[in-house]
Amino acid sequence: MKCQNCGVDVPEDKIYCERCGTAIQMVPDYNPEEDISIGKEEQKKTQTTEETEDNTKRSKWCYAIAGFCVLLLGGFITQGVYRSLHTQETITEPIEPVLLAKPQFSIEPGEYDYSPMLSISHPEQSQGTIYYTTDGTTPNENSYMFHSPIEIREGRTILRAIFVRFDGIQSEEADGTYDVIFDYPEEPEFDIPGGNYSKGLYVTITAEEDCKIYYTTNGEEPDYQSHLYRGRIYIPVGLTVLQAVAIDEEGGVSAITEAIYNVSENFTIDNESMEHVE
């Protein structure tokens, strides 16, 4: 330390100056500028701390706001993608048409031993048209239009039908398979077989009960428009081709029975034979 009076160095264990006898001041001299400087430094530190805290709070808020914005943006993106996919599915997914009820058949599909007459109906028949096919093909507006009962003929018939309303709305398809198998009568029998004969003869034809017999003698195939058999048939001189069929009450037609008779010219017809000539 130095003496404040004379400026001589005074040992630290002395409390007065040996030169001038001035008491040594133990408290360091007060320097207001140093206090101000220290105060400024402390204030600056305080401000720095506060600024740091403010910056930290501000950063936290910024991060929070940024996170919220990211979440919000993600929600918008997700919703947009969902709407896009849903719209795409809605556009690409085919719209199933609304169909009306099926037409109805008056006769159930199955096997029959006769030719049934079948009708087709629909609850809204007065408001549209029924179209059908009988060969198994898909019916449309170019197919047969139903107006009157359909005869299901011998064999297999695959019937398919739709109803189309005047506004273009179509029904579901109705279909059915019909097998018509006739119980044919046995073919007629001749009591005299074909062959060569020296005189005219009478031929008797028989068939199953409840059958009518139709015949021809000119070689044409007989049918229900041919001669109806009522009794013995006389075979005259010459060549005769006798053919006959049996037709039952339900329209079943038998196979044709045929016999060829060749009768010589050198014979005399007796009275009994003449009585039966047709």
- Encode pLDDT of 3-25 as tens digits: 777 777 777 777 767 777 777 66
More confident residue, 258 or 88: 258
Q: Cβ–Cβ contacts within 10 Å for residue 3, how many?
A: 20
Question: For the whole prediction, is pTM greater than 0.75?
Answer: no
Whether 124 maps to a domain, the answer reads: yes
Select from 211, 184, 199, 174 the least CA-distant residue to 261.
199
Same domain, 169 and 239: no
Domain boundary among the residues 180, 199, 224 is at 180
* 177 close to 109: Cβ distance less than 8 angstroms: yes
Averaged pLDDT, 76-87: 65
Regarding whether 144 and 119 lie in a shared domain, the answer is yes
Indicate whether 175 belongs to any domain. yes
CATH of the domain at 225: 2.60.40.10
Q: How many domains does the chain have?
A: 2
> Among residues 130, 151, 180, which one ends one of the domains?
180
| E strand or H helix at 212 | strand 211-216
Q: What is the pLDDT of residues 255-277, one digit of tens each?
A: 999 999 999 976 444 444 433 33
Buried b (16+ CB within 10 A) or exposed e, 32-47: eeeeeeeeeeeeeeee
Q: Report if residue 144 sits inside a domain.
A: yes
* Average pLDDT value over all residues in the chain: 82
Domain boundary pick from 157, 180, 203: 180
The reply to whether 204 and 268 lie within a common domain is yes
Domain that holds residue 175: 104-180
198 and 157 fall within a common domain: no
In a domain, 141, yes or no: yes
